[in-house]
A and B are shown apart, each in its own frame.
Chain A
Amino acid sequence: MRIGSVVLIIASLSWSGCASLSGSKDQFYVCSYDVAWDAAVLSVKDRPVQVADKDKGVIETNWVEVEGAERTYGIFDREGFGNRERTRMSIAVKRLNDVVSFSVLETRQRWHLKGGVGQQSTRWWPIDPSEEAEASVTDRIRKTINEKGCVTT
């Protein structure tokens, strides 16, 4: 059945995609979990925190709206739907004996990514995360951790 084959291909692509497109960057430190957790919490203190579960090692901030890159609309370069973007940061802290790992990932979306005003267009669309924003959080964690005497593996 050809349709069945198509579904199978899609499922396998989706499965492999999950493994290959995670997007986050992990960093490892020789450090106690408590120190690592505090550093992670401190790194997103400028954002509203939605989830901070120390047992699971997950911190998720709420959405924060920011001004995105300027984008005009149509062939007349009109200002149409604005440049609104919003970001959300999530940090996963994992422990393995004396080593802790941090995984920092930003989720970024843009209001009205492209096209006209179809009912799919005027909503938040996922876009690539900002490497600068992720690096900023990662740097804060590194700085705090280093001040506490922990070292990078």
Chain B
Amino acid sequence: MRIRSILGALVIASLPVIPAWAEMTPEEIKKMVDEAVKQRLEEQQRREGGMERREEAPPGAQYPVPVGPMTDVKVERPGEERVPLSFGSTGSGRLVYAKPFVAAPKAIVGGYFDIQYRSQSKGSIENDYGGTSNGFDQQRFIPFIYADVTEHVKFASEMEIEHGIREETGSPNEVSLEFGFMDYLINEKVNLRAGIILLPIGKFNLLHDSPLNDLTDRPLVSQYVIPSTISETGAGIYGTFYPGRTSKLDYELYVTTGPCSYNNDGTPRINEAGGTMDSRQRTCPSTDGLDINNGKAWVGRLAYSPMLGVEVGGSSYYGNGAPNGSYNSLSISAIDWTFQRGPFELIGEAAWAYARGNSRSISSSTGFPVGALLTAQPGNSGLGIPPQRMNGYYIQGNYHFMPAFLTKLSPKRFGEGSTLTAVIRYDRVNTDLDNFNGTGGFGNLQQISFGLNYRPIEDAVFKISYQYQPMAFNPNANSGLGARIHDNALVISAATYF
């Protein structure tokens, strides 16, 4: 009130002497003074508010610093924000930010990471250095980007960095684009996809992320017969049908770059020790990423789910793996199954591969006449004849549980959303069904795994497992050609999406 009186006096004093005052009524003069006082009071309040805000403002930058819409970057001159991004766009170095996913964020950046410690009874881990029996390995660091470009256009990609970034070349240490594709969604029955595509051979290749899997190591059949992770450049269609009240039919069909089954000198890349691993284009000596012949590969998977929790899938891959002038196809067929009932799961897959003509020479540069039986080829046991036929399978049982006493002990760590899983898996694979030399071949493997893992949340997992390998292969054995061994291993790992 006191302030108002003072201001009133000041206002009256500051009001210009207007001759018209003489003609104004006392009410009009009072009204004019009140309005002027009110105006001054509001100005004063604004000033004081501003001072308070300045006093409250932090002395330095606070993190995280709020980021405004990046469209501002383009607004260097009025009206420019309305110019669509194209070669007609102008700007300084900041143009690098003028990307749709920055201007209108629809992209998700994330990934997954894993780390493992492995201890084996035999020194069979580190190849080329005589072998070690235990060690750490940061096997996969996988950033991904996913974008809803429009309602009907989607983009997904995954970069793969394996074992850290290593300088040595020619080894399986990888930095590569595991997949990167664009989808055009037409309807649920038919959709288009093009790019580097995860090949739908079996189910594991499609769902291979470390945090998803309940054991650290991938199934043997998904390493040697189906060379997971296998992805190739191509295009195709996928979709879903609903043939019944509870049933569902999913399909995927793609045509892609074909396999790379031969080296430059015509020697086969498919062998007992690695199975079909080296037939992937990503490991091919061809450096331009293109096919080594004019043929393409076809791959498709059909999965039928009669009801929730049950799915059986069948898939097949076929392509010419030989350089132009030869036709030696690689075909892989697989079936996979998933049964879920309450806390129980039974999953697995079986696969068969046939590398036509893989045991015979396709070129005289191999040192053998064309058509002659190849011998002494690296990676093959006995006479060293490369294999043509291989197969394998795995069966895995999972049981999800959470003891009440743990939840009671620590509801935050073992409460809702967390789970323990007991796992048992049987693996069997033989990468040379043509091998009759009595050694069983380098790729004649058998493994039983017992595991227990803890998921504090669904997207993160800590795993421990014991592997018993009644039939294993030691690449570091003194013979130089490896040896059949009985091995066992303790594997501890962690993996998480981020």
Q: Which residues of A contact B (CB under 8 A)?
A: 2-3, 6-7, 10, 13-14, 17-18, 21-24, 58, 60, 73-76, 78, 80-81, 90, 92, 105, 107, 114-120, 122-124, 126-129
CA distance A18 to B304 in the complex (A): 12
**A10 touching B391 in the complex, CB below 8 Å, given contacts A17-B307, A105-B245, A116-B144:** no
Are B339 and A22 in contact, CB atoms less than 8 angstroms apart? no
CA distance A122 to B144 in the complex (A): 13
CA distance A23 to B306 in the complex (A): 12
CA distance A73 to B339 in the complex (A): 25
Are B108 and A76 in contact, CB atoms less than 8 angstroms apart? no
Residues 241-293 of B contacting A (Cβ, < 8 Å): 242, 245-246, 248
CA distance A69 to B463 in the complex (A): 28
**A117 touching B248 in the complex, CB below 8 Å, given contacts A3-B391, A75-B498:** no
Are B310 and A14 in contact, CB atoms less than 8 angstroms apart? yes
Residues 11-68 of B contacting A (Cβ, < 8 Å): none
Indicate whether B237 reaches chain A with its CB closer than 8 angstroms.
no
Residues 144-169 of B contacting A (Cβ, < 8 Å): 144-146, 154, 156-158
CA distance A60 to B242 in the complex (A): 11
Q: Which of B75-83, B205-213, B367-375, B406-414 contacts A (4 or more CB under 8 A)?
A: B205-213
Are A17 and B497 in contact, CB atoms less than 8 angstroms apart? no
Indicate whether B489 reaches chain A with its CB closer than 8 angstroms.
no
Are B312 and A14 in contact, CB atoms less than 8 angstroms apart? yes
Q: Which of B114-122, B130-138, B378-386, B452-460 contacts A (4 or more CB under 8 A)?
A: B452-460
- Type the 1/0 row for B320-351, where 1 means its CB is closer than 8 Å to any CB of A: 00000000000000010101010000101010
Q: Would you give the shortest CB distance from A143 to chain B, in whole angstroms?
A: 24
Question: Among the interface residues B146, B181, B335, which one has the most CB atoms of the partner chain A within 10 A?
Answer: B146
Are A122 and B179 in contact, CB atoms less than 8 angstroms apart? no
- Chain B residues whose C-beta falls within 8 Å of the C-beta of A75 in the assembled complex: 457, 459-460, 496-498
Are A115 and B110 in contact, CB atoms less than 8 angstroms apart? no
- Chain B residues whose C-beta falls within 8 Å of the C-beta of A129 in the assembled complex: 308
Task: Write the chain A residue with the least CB distance to B193.
Answer: A119
Q: Would you give the shortest CB distance from A51 to chain B, in whole angstroms?
A: 10
Are A6 and B350 in contact, CB atoms less than 8 angstroms apart? yes
B interface SS class = strand
CA distance A117 to B179 in the complex (A): 10
Query: B393's contact among A6, A114, A123, by CB below 8 Å, is which?
Result: A6
The contact sample of 7 A-B pairs, CB cut-off 8 A, is A6-B348, A17-B309, A18-B310, A117-B145, A117-B158, A118-B198, A118-B206
Question: Among the interface residues A10, A22, A58, which one has the most CB atoms of the partner chain B within 10 A?
Answer: A10
Query: A114's contact among B108, B111, B458, by CB below 8 Å, is which?
Result: B458
Are A115 and B197 in contact, CB atoms less than 8 angstroms apart? no
- Chain A residues whose C-beta falls within 8 Å of the C-beta of B179 in the assembled complex: 118-119
Query: B207's contact among A74, A105, A115, A122, by CB below 8 Å, is which?
Result: A115
Indicate whether B74 reaches chain A with its CB closer than 8 angstroms.
no
CA distance A3 to B389 in the complex (A): 15
Task: Write the chain A residue with the least CB distance to B208.
Answer: A118
Extra A-B contacts (8), CB below 8 Å, given A14-B312, A23-B307, A118-B198:
A3-B350, A6-B393, A14-B306, A14-B337, A21-B307, A80-B108, A107-B245, A116-B497
- Chain A residues whose C-beta falls within 8 Å of the C-beta of B156 in the assembled complex: 117-119, 122
Task: Write the chain A residue with the least CB distance to B231.
Answer: A119
Are A119 and B212 in contact, CB atoms less than 8 angstroms apart? no
CA distance A23 to B308 in the complex (A): 9
Are B110 and A73 in contact, CB atoms less than 8 angstroms apart? yes
Are A22 and B246 in contact, CB atoms less than 8 angstroms apart? yes
Task: Write the chain A residue with the least CB distance to B252.
Answer: A119
Task: Write the chain A residue with the least CB distance to B178.
Answer: A118
Are A21 and B310 in contact, CB atoms less than 8 angstroms apart? yes
Are A119 and B206 in contact, CB atoms less than 8 angstroms apart? yes
**A22 touching B307 in the complex, CB below 8 Å, given contacts A7-B350, A116-B144, A120-B206:** yes
- Chain A residues whose C-beta falls within 8 Å of the C-beta of B144 in the assembled complex: 116-117
4 interchain residue pairs of minimum CB distance: A117-B146, A74-B497, A117-B156, A120-B206
CA distance A116 to B139 in the complex (A): 17
CA distance A117 to B428 in the complex (A): 30
Query: A118's contact among B108, B158, B337, B459, by CB below 8 Å, is which?
Result: B158
Question: Among the interface residues A7, A18, A75, A126, which one has the most CB atoms of the partner chain B within 10 A?
Answer: A75
Are B393 and A73 in contact, CB atoms less than 8 angstroms apart? no
- Chain B residues whose C-beta falls within 8 Å of the C-beta of A81 in the assembled complex: 108, 146
**A115 touching B245 in the complex, CB below 8 Å, given contacts A6-B393, A120-B206, A126-B308:** no
- Chain B residues whose C-beta falls within 8 Å of the C-beta of A92 in the assembled complex: 245
Are B246 and A105 in contact, CB atoms less than 8 angstroms apart? yes
Query: A74's contact among B206, B308, B496, by CB below 8 Å, is which?
Result: B496
Indicate whether B112 reaches chain A with its CB closer than 8 angstroms.
yes
CA distance A107 to B309 in the complex (A): 12
Query: A21's contact among B146, B154, B309, B497, by CB below 8 Å, is which?
Result: B309
- Chain A residues whose C-beta falls within 8 Å of the C-beta of B459 in the assembled complex: 73-75, 114-115
